[in-house]
A and B are shown apart, each in its own frame.
Chain A
């Protein structure tokens, strides 16, 4: 009875996960979808705690520890998620993803320890072996395979996510060395060979002794210590692989990597589903694994980059290549600076203004000031729109989220293709803390690391005003020729301060 209630709870949870994902992919239902999935998760968690029974029909124990851990995790998780700034959300997602990966890896470690204590043989040892020692067991290869798979994927996801987190918040700098891809491939090969060796030779490494009498047989196992050592070697190698895998990938591609690691963790969770014959874990895990993989590809498409390119032709490795040398800041022609007053004047007396928001806007939390400027200009009869690059900011959709927070209406936000059609009829483009997404090198310079990425073609407009804090290059670490073009003027300062100055001036006009 209890077990069938548990099964129904898992069924409900699985359905909520599917519904949740479905609703999350539509702006109107997204919030509800997230909450539905959360309710499903709560049901699954409490059903497991109170209704789960192991093979011998025993309930779970250690309730105090379980609830203590749940409370600790909930409090820390909720506070961290509530406190985090909007700009830091991407790295928060990466961090939480890493926690899930670590959780899956730990489960595999515990299950491996259980496995070598009693290697779940596929056929029972014949009791006629009584008195025999040291005969081999037929171990359950499938079980061990899943344990190792969950371990490798979980570990890679954990260490990779931590590196991605560090890179996004600037703690870890891009790091690449010559032949890194070969090292990575070798490392991957070593992981697979070690895991394969462990799997194929485990049968000979675990011995069984049957003693006692026919009525009361006593079974004990002995194992060669190398299997334990090899297992932990795989753990270390997988952790190392996760680190080296993410290290050379540049900041601009980090969202894609996080999405990929996200789907990895999904698969690792599904491995747990196999281990415990648990359908909620299986459906949730595989669903995220599949959806996450597709999402990764969709994100790549939004940047016109192939996944292979992201993973192999990494930003960090090429940013230091000849482009960096030919484009020393000193070689540049001079750039033009403009005052806030003049910029305000130009915008007020134009008929069409396009605002291009970027990471700088997010950092300065200037979305409200930006909306106010837009309203002011609209009152003065200026047609104001926003040009949204799909990967402006640190994550796809980052700008939309930010501007929506400031109540900017949806129809003012133009997607890249639409915006590019309108630039040629635009009088003034105001670039707010965006850099790489308006860098013409992506179209003109094949040696540039961002070559091939679709950009907002702001240079088609009559005038371009760029707000930046300094002339420092953007996240991809490359110079932007746009800033040195005759039609471009630089308006230095923090996006929020600059916008407030602009608003002041326009109000007094």
Chain B
């Protein structure tokens, strides 16, 4: 119990961000028309690819001879990049079809 309270007070700032982002996330897409459900999901999919930052940190911190960590880090960066690049490109292609008509 004490540990939990301590953790909360240590991470106050982060917890504030979490709560605010929950409300913001709901507010921001609240009025999306059903036409855009799929592209929006795909775009959101690309944005959570931000997890790649964690992968880069893991990779960059890995010891020179810590092969397990090097391999896992490499794999994580590849997977994260796939998520980011693939996600944004697929979304872009989907939205290509919403170009303004003359």
Contacts and interface: CB of A to CB of B under 8 A. Distances in A.
Contact of B88 (A21, A41, A100, A284): A41
Contacts of A258: 41
Indicate the member of B3, B14, B23, B79 with the most A CB atoms within 10 Å: B79
A84 to B, nearest CB: 7
Interface in B60-102: 60-62, 64, 68-70, 72-101
A60 B40 contact: no
A35 interface: yes
Nearest to A367: B97
A280 B41 contact: no
**Dominant secondary structure at the B interface:** helix
A81 B95 CA distance: 13
* Interface bracket on A: 35 or more
A404 B90 CA distance: 16
A278 B11 CA distance: 12
Contacts of A95: 86
B77 A70 contact: yes
A480 interface: no
* Interface bracket on B: 35 or more
Nearest to B49: A100
Contact of B38 (A27, A102, A396): A396
Nearest to B101: A409
Given A34-B91, A48-B57, A259-B41, A73 B80 contact: yes
Interface string B19-45: 001111110111111111111111111
A408 to B, nearest CB: 9
A78 interface: yes
Contacts of A284: 47-48, 50
Nearest to B77: A69
Contacts of B78: 69, 72-73, 76
A294 B29 contact: yes
Contacts of B26: 290-291, 293-294
Interface of A: 13, 17-18, 20-22, 24-28, 30-31, 33-35, 37-38, 41, 44-45, 48-49, 52, 54, 59-63, 65-66, 68-70, 72-74, 76-78, 80-82, 84, 89-90, 92-93, 95-97, 99-100, 102-104, 106-107, 109-111, 113, 122, 140-142, 145, 255, 258-259, 262-263, 265-266, 268-270, 272-295, 298-299, 302, 390, 395-398, 400-402, 404-405, 407, 409-410, 415
